[in-house]
Structures are given as C-alpha cells and as structure tokens.
C-alpha cells in the first residue's frame, strides 16, 4: 500500500504511551511467543483488508481523471443528399456528398472544472485513507493495551489463587492442631475454588483480546499468546497547567475528520464551479468538403452552432451544488465545535486517570501492601483470624485491580487524544521512569 512519507512517520511513531513498554515485561514468560506493539502495527498496516481496498479506489479515480482531461471528441461525418429522388434527382447523378469533421469548443473552462472535481476527489480519498490509517493505529493500540491489561489481570488472579492456597495450607495445620474451627477451613477452600474460576475467566479474556488484536491483520489463528510490554509505563507526570490543554488544542486542526470535512467542502466548491462552467458557452463547429455529382465540382463546407438558454438549463444543477457546498461548510463548522468539546472531555479524563494511577502507586498501594504484611504477621502469631487475613489480602488485590483499570484508562484516553490531534509526541521509556512498579 502506497502511503505518504509523513503518514508512515506518523504511524511508526504512534505507539502512544504503551510503546515504552516494549523494552521490558514485568513478568516475562519466555516459553510463550509474544508480540510487541511495533510488530502489531506493521502487520496491521501491511495486511489490513480495509486499507488494501484504497489501492483500487485510487486506480478508479485515476481513470476518472484521465476521462475528465479529455477534450471534446472530434467526429468524422459523411452526408449524402439528393439521392434516388424523382425527376432530375432520380438515381445518384445529382447527389451531393459531404465529408466533414465536427466537434465542440468549450469556451467556459469546462475541462479545467472537470479536472478540478476529480482532483478534489483524489484529495478527499487521500484524507479518507489517512484517517483510516490513523483509526487503525489507534484501534491496534487500544487492543494492545487491553491485552496488556488482561495479562495483568491473569497475574493478579494467579496471585489471588496462590494466597488462597497458602491460607488453606495454614488452616489445615491449625485445624489439625485444634486451634481453628473446621468451618474456617471450609470457607477458605471455597474461596480457593472461586479463585480458580476467576483465573480461568481472566485467561479466557486474555485469549479473546489476543484474537481481537490479530483480527486487524486478518489472522484468526495468531502465533502469539501474549503482548510484550508494561501496562504501567506511563512516563513522566502530565502537567495540570492549562497550557497542556492548549498544546493539544493547537494541534486539533490536524484532526483527520476535520481534514476530510475540509476536503468535502473543497469538493463541493469544485462541483459548483463545474456546474457554472457547464452553463457557459460551448460552440459547435464542422468543416469539410462537398462533392456535387451533377457538375463534378467540389466546395468547402463550414458550419457553427451554439445552444440557446444554456445558462437557464444549468441553473438547477448550480443551485443544487451551492446548497451542498453550504451544507458541507456548516458540517465542518459544527464538527470543529464538537471536536473541541470532545478534546476537553478526553483531556480531563486522561488527567483524572493519570492522577488515579499516581495516587494508587505512590500512596494507596504501598499502604495496602504494608497492611497485608502486618496482618499476615499477626495471623501467624495468632492475633488475627483467617477472615481478617483474607480481607486484608482481598483489599490489596482489589487495589491492584483498580490500578490495572486506571492504567488502562490512562492509555486509552492518551490514545484518543493523539487520534484527535493526529500526533504522537515522544514519551518516556521505562529506563527514565522513577515510579515503582507494583
């Protein structure tokens, strides 16, 4: 697929916040084949069926442009008069034969207006293709970070099962020693069984996310089982200064939807000019040679013709084209207002998600980890019951689950911001990140 260099640079750099994850995996499993974001993007751009269709649309428009560039055809015309009549005109002795060329002179810029329309359509198709590329890049990023989140959820459920199994083992010894009621052990075993169900559900979800990711390059049997990346590599803190929002707003004019609407407006303007040109003067002409059989003489024949009231006949098409142009301009203005509102909402959601991740990682999670360790120590000393230990562990696991969801939202809103502005600024890599990994 042929894309402009700027589009390719944009695509290869549009790895958003999760691109930095490709340098490491918090819980690597080298026995399972993994895919990184660049590989997923490359496969999608090369093999996505929707993008492949644009090649044929470009060829079709090239054919339209070739047709639009043609000048009016020249016709060869043969006329025969005074054939097989009566009296002196019986037979062909008095026939008059005329061989002539005929065509039309377009005096109102009709050819240029036709070319302008096809050029506008080509520009519109280029914008559609660019928008499709950006949509595909964003969609692949969405699915990639969703797979990372699903993997983190699997790890979380595995940890939950491990903790539940440890608690069961401890309670078995206590029940045998007679220090703990049998009912506590039964509840712990039921909780362990539930962790098995949750773990299987998490694994199924991860498999579904992998299938959805591979569907972007039309692969129903992917050869990878996991994504290589770190869901929590969010880079440096986002500024809460309004200038940060202003920087996004400054790039909003790059929005591919706006570009497509602008192209639609230009196309409608070109169609107005074409309709106006078709209402202008076209002059028909013919020139040739006439043979008079009766006298064996020849003579030149020249003729001119012009349509009457062509301007009035084109008025309906002009009215339609102008109305469509006005509608396109109104749609473009309306879209700008809606995109501005959408950008602000997405920016706010991104700030909130990032702040939540930061608070969970730096404040809440360390406290919950310390509380869980203290509760486990007190349980071993017999000062806390298994119910209190299970509650502390569940609160810790719930906090980690909150962190996964918040990190996923932070990535998704960042992806949406960059989709809205058709930009992919540089991001921090894990090597420069100072925040701890849970």
Burial (0-12, 13-18, 19+ Cβ within 10 Å), 332: middle
pLDDT of residue 22: 39
Homologous superfamily of 5-432: Outer membrane efflux proteins (OEP) (1.20.1600.10)
pLDDT of residue 17: 37
Instruction: Give the CA diameter of the chain.
Output: 139
Please report, in angstroms and rounded to a whole number, the separation of the first and last CA atoms in the chain.
42
- pLDDT tens for the chain, 438 residues long, are 344 434 443 444 444 433 334 333 434 444 458 999 999 999 999 999 989 889 999 999 999 999 999 898 889 999 888 887 777 777 777 788 899 999 988 888 888 899 999 999 999 999 899 989 999 999 999 999 999 999 999 999 999 999 999 999 999 998 988 888 999 999 999 999 999 999 999 999 999 999 999 999 999 888 898 999 999 987 544 444 434 788 888 888 888 888 888 888 888 888 888 888 888 878 888 999 998 877 888 999 999 888 887 777 778 888 888 898 888 888 888 888 898 999 999 999 999 999 999 999 999 999 999 999 999 999 888 888 889 999 999 999 999 999 999 999 999 999 999 999 887 533 232 333 333 333
pLDDT of residue 261: 85
pLDDT of residue 235: 58
Taking residue 425's Cβ as centre, other Cβ atoms within 10 Å add up to 11
What residues have CB less than 8 Å from 164, skipping those under 6 apart?
A: 188, 191, 192, 195, 390
Tokens linked to 116: 């302008």
- The sheet with strand 282-292 has its strands ordered as 75-81, 96-106, 282-292, 297-305
């Amino acid at each position: 697929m042929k894309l402009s260099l700027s589009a390719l640079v944009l695509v290869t750099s549009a790895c958003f916040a999760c691109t930095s994850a490709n340098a490491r995996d918090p819980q690597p499993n080298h026995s399972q084949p993994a895919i990184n974001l660049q590989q997923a993007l490359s496969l999608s751009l090369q093999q996505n069926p929707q993008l492949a269709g644009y090649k044929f649309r470009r060829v079709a428009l090239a054919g339209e442009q070739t047709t639009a560039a043609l000048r009016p055809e020249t016709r060869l015309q043969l006329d025969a008069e005074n054939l097989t009549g009566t009296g002196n005109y019986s037979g062909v002795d008095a026939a008059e034969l005329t061989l002539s060329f005929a065509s039309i002179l377009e005096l109102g810029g009709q050819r240029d207006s036709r070319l302008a329309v096809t050029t506008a359509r080509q520009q519109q198709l280029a914008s559609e293709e660019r928008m499709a590329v950006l949509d595909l890049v964003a969609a692949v990023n969405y699915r990639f970070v969703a797979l990372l989140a699903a993997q983190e959820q699997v790890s979380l459920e595995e940890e939950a099962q491990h903790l539940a199994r440890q608690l069961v083992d401890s309670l078995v010894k206590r029940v045998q020693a007679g220090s703990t009621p049998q009912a506590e052990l039964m509840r712990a075993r039921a909780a362990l069984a539930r962790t098995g169900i949750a773990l299987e559900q998490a694994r199924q979800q991860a498999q579904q996310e992998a299938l959805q990711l591979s569907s972007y390059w039309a692969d129903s049997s992917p050869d990878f089982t996991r994504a290589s990346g770190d869901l929590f590599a969010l880079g440096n803190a986002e500024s809460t200064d309004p200038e940060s929002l202003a920087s996004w707003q400054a790039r909003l004019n790059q929005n591919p939807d706006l570009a497509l609407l602008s192209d639609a407006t230009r196309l409608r303007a070109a169609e107005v000019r074409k309709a106006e040109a078709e209402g202008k003067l076209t002059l028909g002409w013919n020139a040739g040679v006439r043979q008079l059989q009766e006298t064996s003489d020849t003579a030149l024949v020249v003729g001119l013709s012009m349509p009457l009231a062509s301007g009035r006949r084109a008025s309906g098409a002009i009215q339609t084209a102008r109305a469509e142009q006005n509608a396109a301009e109104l749609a473009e203005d309306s879209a700008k207002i809606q995109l501005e509102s959408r950008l602000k909402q997405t920016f706010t959601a991104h700030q909130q998600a990032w702040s939540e991740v930061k608070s969970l990682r730096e404040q809440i999670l360390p406290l919950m980890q310390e509380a869980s360790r203290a509760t486990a120590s007190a349980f071993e000393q017999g000062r806390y019951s298994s119910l209190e230990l299970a509650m502390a562990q569940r609160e810790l696991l719930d906090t980690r689950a909150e962190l996964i969801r918040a990190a996923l939202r932070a990535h998704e809103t960042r992806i949406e911001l960059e989709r809205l502005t058709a930009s992919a600024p540089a991001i921090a890599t894990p090597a420069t990140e100072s925040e701890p990994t849970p």
